[in-house]
Amino acid sequence: MRPRSLITSSHAASHIDARTAITTPLRPDAPISENSIGAADERSSVKGKAAGKGDRGATALADGVRVSKSSVRVVALGAVDELNAALGVVRAAAVPESLREHLASLQRDLLALGANLARPLTTTAGASAEKARWSEERVERIERLLEAGEAQLPPLRNFILPGGSPSAAALQWARAVCRSAERAVVELAEEETLDPAALSYLNRLADLLFALAREENQRQGVADETW
């Protein structure tokens, strides 16, 4: 039985909840202590003003602990968020609806990954635990899709230039962003204990995005340009 194309694979969409928070303003001259860093940065959200908790370079993790935005954990979170945004750019391009749905599934995976990275491994996940639950099954799903997609593509014997059709170029850009996110998460893993499946997922996702880019060029009749 011939493997299905990656682009024709689709996944059911799930609803992502959004929550908002209202903060209490503090006096501008309020003292800042080690336990309240960032608290003095809060602004009222009344009259459309955004809560400015992070104006002084600190942010809160999922367990409530405030850390510098330059910390390795926050940098890793930002890199995964950037990757998610890159996939959003691809979804906005002229791609088949089945691919668009597939990318949405990957974006939900990345939100779950971010939820896991936002707290130490020993921290209780809380109300969103089931939606953010991480396992090797996510990695195995990508590997199955990758194997099916590569079966549709001619073997590569040379490096290729990222580009071709606009959608393939966007997928290649997302692949590069994925590798950057992977490096950031590796750096975090060198300092703190992480679920090994998180690193495996990003590694295999980059491979999948590369295959998707090649398949998009193939779908549009654009030849890969070799180096």
Domain of 99, CATH number, reads: 1.20.1200.10
φ, ψ dihedrals at 26, nearest 5°: -115, 160
**Over 60: is that where the pLDDT of 46 sits?**
no
Residue 26 lies in a domain: no
Q: Which residue has the higher pLDDT, 115 or 173?
A: 173
- Specify whether the CB–CB gap between 203 and 145 falls below 8 A: no
Residue 211 lies in a domain: yes
Confidence tier at 117 by pLDDT (50, 70, 90): confident
**Over 50: is that where the pLDDT of 128 sits?**
yes
- Specify whether the CB–CB gap between 197 and 135 falls below 8 A: yes
Q: Which residue has the higher pLDDT, 188 or 127?
A: 188
Residue 145 lies in a domain: yes
Residue 89 lies in a domain: yes
Give the pTM. Answer: 0.72
Domain count, the chain: 1
Q: Which residue has the higher pLDDT, 129 or 34?
A: 129
Residue 212 lies in a domain: yes
- Specify whether the CB–CB gap between 102 and 166 falls below 8 A: no
Helix (H) or strand (E) holding 175: helix 166-189
Residue 199 lies in a domain: yes
What pLDDT score was predicted for residue 63?
A: 60
- 2-6, 51-55, 93-97: segment of lowest average pLDDT: 2-6
Residue 72 lies in a domain: yes
Residue for token pair 């635990």:
129
Please list, in sequence order, all residues whose beta carbon lies within 8 angstroms of the beta carbon of residue 95, skipping any fewer than 6 positions away: 7, 103, 167, 216
What's the mean pLDDT in 39-59? 55
Domain that holds residue 192: 67-219
Residue 5 lies in a domain: no
Confidence tier at 225 by pLDDT (50, 70, 90): confident
